[in-house]
Amino acid sequence: MKNKLLKMIIKRIVQSIIVVFVVTLMVFLLMQLVPGDPIANFLGANATQEQIEHYTKIFGYDQPVLIQYAKWIQGLFHGEMGRSVALQKEISEVIFQRLGVTMSIVFPAFILAVVLAIILGIVAALNRGTIIDSAISFFANIGMSMPMFWFGMILILTFGLKLGILPTSGYVAPKDGIGNWLLHLILPMTVLAMGPLAQFTRQTRSSMLEVIRQDYVTTARAKGLKQKTIIFRHQLRNALIPIITIMGVQLGGMIGGTVLVESIFVVPGLGSLMISSIQGKDFMVVENGVFIIAVAVAVCNLIVDILYGIIDPRIRND
Amino acid sequence: MQEKEKRRIKLKKISNSRVARVLLARKSVVACLIILAVMLIASVFAPFVAPYDPYKQDLVNMLKPMSFEHIFGTDSMGRDVLSRIIYGGRVSFTVGVVSVLLAGSVGMMLGLIAGMAGGIVDAVIMRIMDAMMSIPMIIMSLFLGSIFGKGLGNICLAIGISMIPSYARVTRGQVLTVREMDYVTAGTLCGASKIKNTISHILPNCVSSNIVLMTMNLGSAILNEAALSFLGMGINPPTASWGGMVNDGYKFMSSNPVIAIAPGIFIMVVVLCFNMVGDALRDALDPKLRGTLGKGKKKKIIKQAI
Amino acid sequence: MADKLLEIKNLSIEYNTEIATVYAVNGMNLSLDHGETLGLVGETGAGKTTTALSIMRLLPEGIGEVTAGSILLDGHDMLKISEEDVRNLRGNTVSMIFQDPMSSLNPVMTVGDQILEVLAIHNENVSKDELNKKVDQMMELVGIPANRKNEYPHEFSGGMKQRIIIAIALACEPKLILADEPTTALDVTIQAQMLGLINDLQKRLNTAMILITHDLGVVAQTCEKVAVMYAGEVIEYGRAEHIFSGKYLHPYTQGLFNAIPKLDEDVKRLETIDGMIPDPTERMEGCRFASRCKYAKERCKKAPDMIEIEEQHYIKCHLFAESKDKNAGRDEKDGR
């Protein structure tokens, strides 16, 4: 039993490594499509020919494409991503620091979304057809359709500008005060959690309703179990399976969503780094950023898959 | 042969009308379709519908609040917000439709090739799809947008490409299931070539699930475009786009919030409508759910109980 | 009469939906002694499963509704007692074996836990160790090695799953088991095995059983009493030997017997009962079987009464009313 799970995990790890490798190849090839000379692009119109040549050499752009790619990959294995001229820092250092900030928003938001969604989904399913159900479904539909940046803006307007009870921008590291950190997290987290919350709620509701019709629930009732036991032990565990399958996609979406959230709430995370690098045409940061995001998504998917394997015993047999 | 052809057309009509019946039975779906139609018509005929020129600046009348003259007020350059919203619909609908069609057709083709060819071709295509999927859609379109550049066409391309993998996956999955079906084997036994089989049996089976996905993706494509434009990496100003308008209005939020809130509401309503229609379409087309819809649902429960 | 385990009187059940009302059970009467085995026979849609579900009060909520009658189980009025009391009876005094073993077990729980669960809920004062021992016992009893209790349902075959379900149903040694077509989903070879097992355990634990089936062969093998259901009511009830002797039979039961292929006769076509079961969404006057009955006459427009044709053999048909009436008349005279 344990062995099967382990085998599955190893298989998934190998798959993720392949995926990440393909990502590097894809990103690198796409970067070759960027019109014009990357160095000239970066240095701007005022750069002299000498400067361009100087930097081209430093960054190795004079070498063949394949060598450039090999060098990049080789660097990645050593945790080196090169140096950003614009930031005047090692790229890896910046990216990992920013990644930490981003994840400190993504994970709490994810957990918030999942927990709240399961509660709302169960409540909606148990009150099917009533006004409670309609209200929850309505809000879930709205939550799925709202533009994230717009929702963030409205929150800033109400809680920040009108009520003045929550900070509307900036980020405080946890070491500078947990309370302050949390306070700054509330709004970004809410915005980031909204879409997944809506998705998970809908999924929980529909799969709870699906499970209620299953024979094993009748078996459970025929055993004389309490309603609560039936809901949590029999229905929910089965209903969770389809929810877990969409968790991976939603987590990826949330990591992407930080691009918007961080730019609205001025959080110095990976998302805002991506935006500023794209705007500043600092493509080395962009390509490494995309790589790191792909790795983060792959890791999240891996965790979700393992969770899946733990909850659903059938999957371990594949 | 003609008889057969006629019967086939008739059957097709029945199945199509069944889907239409299921869709139209839901009042919310009818409402959504009407809203979408009104908005689409308004944006197509924007020059006749919009009360003002969306690009005409009027610095005397800038940042006006809501009034009868300017229902949603005027923006920082004195342009009528409602007119800009009507024109902005053109961008949203264009991006939605074009990028979804692009993603759908290319994705379906890749999925078909992967599923039919198998082996190394399948592996290569699907690994690339996996890789594309492991980059969140918004980052992918941002990244592609930064390579292609701004502008309507490039944005459609960027968003379209970032949505390809889901179509490829769905189609390939369908192909693999359908390929094992008895009627496809029967086709092969009758001497149909692989290509003929693909076109006459497998392709039609993949279409319905892709159409559902396309309807659902219309909303996310529009959201994505709005996000890119909001970040200043989508549609070039001064062209009106809903996301860009929210961004413009953002700076004046405390003094005149309606400039930013109004276009956001339009994004939400359009996306909501597309999502609702997509949901209903999925329920109507999904054979697994057939007979569990509305009235049929209870009938089935009763049958089980007796 | 007091020692009857189960007494169903004049039970009527409706399913209410937006489209129509389905009259699933119509004035059904049935009783059962302790330790007795009853075969409940009838075609699909006759209301067999509905009856069983109503005994456990498991009718689909908000749809299925008991409109008349009473169900007395071991002295409890099942339709009146509180939900908590019903829960205490379910699995403990009365339990059910379901039709489809493939879907009746929770796929994400080990089979051991699923047996343990029913024991734990009804034996709150017993220690966990003892309960676990009992689980092992039950598994061995149904013929599955106890060391497999940490496995999940998907690791078992259909027959094995049905054994687990039997173990769950018998774990608390109930007074009544409702077996709803326990063998239809299984291979023929396993069917006999399973029936043998159920019968054996039932005798050992002195449990009464209602075996729902449409297979008369199964009834002949296992049951002491037979009740034939048609369109929501019991139309014939009696000891198995009386029914299988074929001396007096309701025309419908006759039809059922004729539909069984016979080995010793060379038949080209199997006999069938013409027509369909009446539309359950319509309330009917008179004999429900009349439309398909070859003996149907004018009098069948009036509903027949249940007549005791021989000792403990009841038939609901006008055909037998005549002979019985004469007898009854004579009895009356003699009585005076």
pLDDT at residue C323 is higher than 80: no
Q: What is the mean pLDDT of residues B258-282?
A: 89
Distances (CA, A) of B217 to A146, A200, B86, B267, B275: 14, 18, 22, 14, 8
Query: In which band, very low, low, confident or very high, does the pLDDT at B291 lie, cut at 50, 70 and 90?
Result: very low
> Which residues of C make CB contacts under 8 Å with B?
15, 17-19, 22, 24, 44-45, 47, 49-50, 53, 59-60, 63-64, 280
Option in B295, B299, B305 nearest C60 (CB): B305
Convert the pLDDT of each residue in A37-74 to its tens digit. Answer: 666 666 666 777 777 777 777 767 777 778 888 888 88
Partners of residue C47 in chain B, C-beta under 8 Å: 306
**Closest-CA residue of chain B to C99:** B304
Angle at C202 between CA C200 and CA C203, to 5 degrees: 70
Q: What is the mean pLDDT of residues A149-176?
A: 83
- Preceding amide of A313 cis, omega within 30: no
**Across the interface, do A214 and C89 touch by the CB < 8 Å criterion?**
no
Largest CA distance in chain A: 84
Which pLDDT does position B300 carry in this prediction? 42
With an 8 Å Cβ cutoff, is A318 touching chain C? no
pLDDT at residue A109 is higher than 90: yes
**Closest-CA residue of chain C to B304:** C49
pLDDT at residue C145 is higher than 50: yes
Domain segments of chain C as ranges: 1-93+174-262+270-275, 107-173
User: Which of A294, A103, A114 lies closest to A188, judged by CA?
Assistant: A103
Query: In which band, very low, low, confident or very high, does the pLDDT at C2 lie, cut at 50, 70 and 90?
Result: very low
Distances (CA, A) of B159 to A20, A151, A312, B98, C222: 21, 22, 35, 9, 68
Nearest CA to CA, how far is A174 from chain B (Å)? 27
Which pLDDT does position C267 carry in this prediction? 66
3-state secondary structure of C164: helix
DSSP annotation of B74 reads B
pLDDT at residue C333 is higher than 50: no
User: Which of B295, B298, B303, B306 is the mutation pick for testing C, counting most C CBs within 10 A?
Assistant: B306
Q: How far is the C-alpha of C314 from the C-alpha of C47, rounded, in Å?
A: 19
Is pLDDT larger for residue C283 or for residue C195? C195
Helices (H) and strands (E) in chain C, counts: 10, 12
Nearest CA to CA, how far is C141 from chain B (Å)? 31
Q: How many Cβ atoms from other residues are within 10 Å of residue C295's Cβ?
A: 12
**In CATH terms, is domain A101-279 a member of 1.20.120.160?**
no
Looking at chain B from residue 242 to 301, which residues have their Cβ under 8 Å from any Cβ of chain C?
295, 298-299, 301
Nearest CA to CA, how far is C47 from chain B (Å)? 6
Q: How many Cβ atoms from other residues are within 10 Å of residue C247's Cβ?
A: 10
Residue type, position C243, single letter: I
3-state secondary structure of C142: coil
User: Which of A99, A145, A270, A297 is the mutation pick for testing B, counting most B CBs within 10 A?
Assistant: A145
Which pLDDT does position C295 carry in this prediction? 78
Strands C37-41 vs C21-33: parallel, antiparallel or unpaired: unpaired
User: Which of B124, B129, B143, B302 is the mutation pick for testing A, counting most A CBs within 10 A?
Assistant: B143
Q: How far is the C-alpha of B25 from the C-alpha of B2, rounded, in Å?
A: 34
Query: In which band, very low, low, confident or very high, does the pLDDT at B296 lie, cut at 50, 70 and 90?
Result: very low
Report all structural domains of chain B as residue ranges with CATH numbers, in order of start: 15-305 (1.10.3720.10)
Which pLDDT does position B54 carry in this prediction? 78
Which pLDDT does position B18 carry in this prediction? 67
Percent of chain A residues past pLDDT 70, beyond the cut? 93
Percent of chain A residues past pLDDT 90, beyond the cut? 21
**Across the interface, do A144 and B275 touch by the CB < 8 Å criterion?**
yes
With an 8 Å Cβ cutoff, is A233 touching chain C? yes
With contact defined as beta carbons under 8 Å apart, do A83 and A89 qualify?
yes
Which pLDDT does position B16 carry in this prediction? 61
Option in C18, C19, C49 nearest B305 (CB): C49
**Across the interface, do C117 and A226 touch by the CB < 8 Å criterion?**
no
**Closest-CA residue of chain C to A308:** C108
Lowest mean pLDDT among A231-245, B186-200, C64-78: B186-200
Domain segments of chain A as ranges: 1-86+281-318, 101-279
Query: In which band, very low, low, confident or very high, does the pLDDT at B286 lie, cut at 50, 70 and 90?
Result: low
Winning range, highest mean pLDDT, from A38-42, B173-177, C112-116: C112-116
Convert the pLDDT of each residue in C214-249 to its tens digit. Answer: 888 888 888 888 898 888 888 888 888 888 887 778
Q: What is the mean pLDDT of residues B98-127?
A: 91
pLDDT at residue B52 is higher than 80: no
Is pLDDT larger for residue C285 or for residue B11? C285
Name chain B's partners: 3 or more CB pairs within 8 A. Answer: A, C
Nearest CA to CA, how far is C6 from chain B (Å)? 21
Is pLDDT larger for residue A31 or for residue C152? C152
**Closest-CA residue of chain A to B274:** A145
User: Which of A26, A29, A31, A153 is the mutation pick for testing B, counting most B CBs within 10 A?
Assistant: A153
- Label each residue of chain A as H, E or C: CHHHHHHHHHHHHHHHHHHHHHHHHHHHHHHCCCCCCHHHHHHCCCCCHHHHHHHHHHCCCCCCHHHHHHHHHHHHHCCCCCEECCCCEEHHHHHHHHHHHHHHHHHHHHHHHHHHHHHHHHHHHHCCCCHHHHHHHHHHHHHHHCCHHHHHHHHHHHHHHHCCCCCCCCCCCHHHCHHHHHHHHHHHHHHHHHHHHHHHHHHHHHHHHHHHCCHHHHHHHHCCCCHHHHHHHHHHHHHHHHHHHHHHHHHHHHHHHHHHHHHHCCCCCHHHHHHHHHHCCCHHHHHHHHHHHHHHHHHHHHHHHHHHHHHCHHHHHC
Q: What is the mean pLDDT of residues B109-137?
A: 89
Which pLDDT does position C191 carry in this prediction? 79
Which pLDDT does position B7 carry in this prediction? 60
Which residue(s) pair with C6 in the sheet? C32, C73
With an 8 Å Cβ cutoff, is C109 touching chain A? yes
Which pLDDT does position B14 carry in this prediction? 54
**Across the interface, do A221 and C58 touch by the CB < 8 Å criterion?**
yes
Nearest CA to CA, how far is A113 from chain C (Å)? 24
Residue type, position B97, single letter: V
Which pLDDT does position A185 carry in this prediction? 87
Which pLDDT does position C10 carry in this prediction? 87
With an 8 Å Cβ cutoff, is A131 touching chain C? no
Q: What is the CATH number of domain C1-93+174-262+270-275?
A: 3.40.50.300
Option in A224, A238, A312 nearest C122 (CB): A224
Residue C262, C-beta contacts closer than 8 angstroms, at least 6 positions apart = none
Lowest mean pLDDT among B29-38, B189-198, C44-53, C76-85: B189-198
Which pLDDT does position B5 carry in this prediction? 62
3-state secondary structure of B241: coil
pLDDT at residue B184 is higher than 70: yes
- Compute the mean pLDDT over every residue in chain C, rounded to the nearest whole number: 82
Lowest mean pLDDT among B33-37, C57-61, C326-330: C326-330
**Across the interface, do A215 and C165 touch by the CB < 8 Å criterion?**
no
Query: In which band, very low, low, confident or very high, does the pLDDT at C173 lie, cut at 50, 70 and 90?
Result: confident
Which pLDDT does position A303 carry in this prediction? 86
User: Which of B89, B28, B31 lies closest to B235, judged by CA?
Assistant: B89
With an 8 Å Cβ cutoff, is B151 touching chain A? no
- Compute the mean pLDDT over every residue in chain B, rounded to the nearest whole number: 81
With an 8 Å Cβ cutoff, is B120 touching chain C? no
Partners of residue A259 in chain B, C-beta under 8 Å: 138-139, 142, 227, 231
**Across the interface, do A313 and C168 touch by the CB < 8 Å criterion?**
no
**ipTM, 2 decimals?**
0.86
Convert the pLDDT of each residue in A116-145 to its tens digit. Answer: 999 999 999 988 888 999 999 999 999 999
pTM to 2 decimal places: 0.81
Nearest CA to CA, how far is A223 from chain C (Å)? 4
With an 8 Å Cβ cutoff, is B223 touching chain A? yes
Is pLDDT larger for residue B298 or for residue C211? C211
Option in A20, A22, A255 nearest B136 (CB): A255
Winning range, highest mean pLDDT, from A50-59, A306-315, C323-332: A306-315
Which pLDDT does position C329 carry in this prediction? 39
User: Which of B32, B91, B135 is the mutation pick for testing A, counting most A CBs within 10 A?
Assistant: B135
